[in-house]
């Protein structure tokens, strides 16, 4: 029974994803009334998450250097620190950790907000006056969360790699030109494309899961927090799976 329920939920989410993509064109053409929702979503999801993202990026970069540099020094392979930083911060942990930040902040907020609108019959009110709730509510959140995750991930990578330079100075004073030229030497277009693809995939999963879980409530107000919890758990699982799949494809095809 749980297995069939999971398959049903996946198929429903895929159908809702297709319907949301169809609504994107209409939103861009005549969605001026919903642009404010898009702007507010980017403000909450990207701008207001910069603080915690900066702290986490600096912490990850510092941990890689503090742990990795002494080990690499013992085998005279300090040069491997640069591809290690790029692999961990830009290609692997960066997309996943920024997705976790957005899930914790935005997935819960979107699911509970939509659930509250269902309970208060606001969705029915939109339909009664001829407003498509998917185009007006789902699409701007879908675009806002996806764009915000891409931007936050790029910021996380930049801040993590740049902030790591400050940590390097504690162990070994290096000229900025030497440090960043080595980073650019090992950073390739495949790494950048992979981190962007992971961000887009994770952003779409988070938005779709949050909206569908919010719409899944029926009539009791006690279902609202449950929708938020389900959105977080499902989005976590979906992002982990898609990141593992994309990493496997990268190592099997690109490398």
Tens digits of per-residue pLDDT, 150-188?
999 999 998 888 887 787 777 667 777 888 888 888 888
User: 100-124, pLDDT tens digit by residue?
Assistant: 999 998 999 999 999 988 888 888 8
Query: For the whole prediction, is pTM greater than 0.95?
Result: no
The answer to whether the Cα torsion of 150, 151, 154, 159 is positive or negative is negative
105 lies in a domain?
Answer: yes
11 lies in a domain?
Answer: no
Return the pLDDT at 103.
94
100 lies in a domain?
Answer: yes
Return the pLDDT at 32.
64
Name the average pLDDT for the chain: 86
Which DSSP symbol is given to 217? -
Number of residues written out for the chain:
255
Structural domain harbouring 152: 34-254
176 lies in a domain?
Answer: yes
The answer to whether the Cα torsion of 119, 49, 230, 222 is positive or negative is negative
- Work out the number of other CB atoms within 10 angstroms of the CB of residue 114: 28
CA angle 181, 184, 185 (to 5 degrees): 85
Cβ 239 vs Cβ 100: under 8 Å: yes
| Count of structural domains within the chain | 1
Q: Which long-range contacts (CB under 8 A, 24 or more apart) does 132-136 make?
A: 132/23, 132/26, 134/19, 134/20, 134/23, 135/23, 135/26, 135/27, 135/31, 135/34, 136/31, 136/33, 136/34, 136/37
Reply yes or no on whether the pLDDT at 205 is more than 80.
yes
Which residues have CB under 8 Å from 201's CB, separation 6+? Answer: 242, 243, 246
230 lies in a domain?
Answer: yes
129 lies in a domain?
Answer: yes
Block residue for tokens 């997935």? 107
59 lies in a domain?
Answer: yes
Return the pLDDT at 37.
83
21 lies in a domain?
Answer: no
């Amino acid at each position: 029974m749980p297995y069939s329920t999971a398959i049903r939920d996946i198929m429903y989410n895929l159908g809702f994803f297709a319907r949301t993509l169809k609504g994107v064109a209409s939103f861009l053409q005549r969605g001026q009334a919903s642009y404010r929702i898009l702007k507010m979503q980017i403000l909450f999801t990207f701008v207001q998450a910069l603080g915690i993202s900066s702290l986490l990026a600096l912490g990850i970069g510092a941990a890689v250097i503090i742990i990795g540099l002494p080990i690499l020094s013992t085998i005279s392979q300090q040069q491997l620190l640069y591809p290690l930083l790029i692999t961990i911060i830009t290609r692997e942990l960066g997309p996943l950790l920024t997705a976790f930040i957005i899930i914790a902040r935005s997935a819960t907020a979107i699911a509970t907000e939509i659930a509250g609108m269902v309970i208060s019959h606001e969705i029915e009110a939109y339909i009664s006056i001829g407003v498509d709730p998917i185009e007006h509510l789902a699409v701007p959140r879908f675009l806002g969360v996806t764009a915000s995750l891409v931007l936050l991930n790029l910021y996380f990578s930049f801040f993590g790699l740049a902030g790591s330079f400050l940590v390097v100075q504690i162990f070994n004073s290096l000229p900025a030109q030497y440090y960043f030229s080595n980073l650019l030497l090992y950073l390739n277009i495949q790494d950048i494309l992979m981190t962007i693809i992971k961000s887009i995939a994770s952003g779409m999963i988070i938005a779709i899961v949050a909206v569908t879980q919010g719409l899944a409530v029926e009539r009791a107000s006690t279902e609202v927090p449950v929708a938020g919890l389900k959105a977080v758990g499902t989005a976590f699982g979906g992002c982990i799976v898609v990141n593992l799949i994309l990493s496997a494809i990268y190592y099997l095809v690109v490398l």
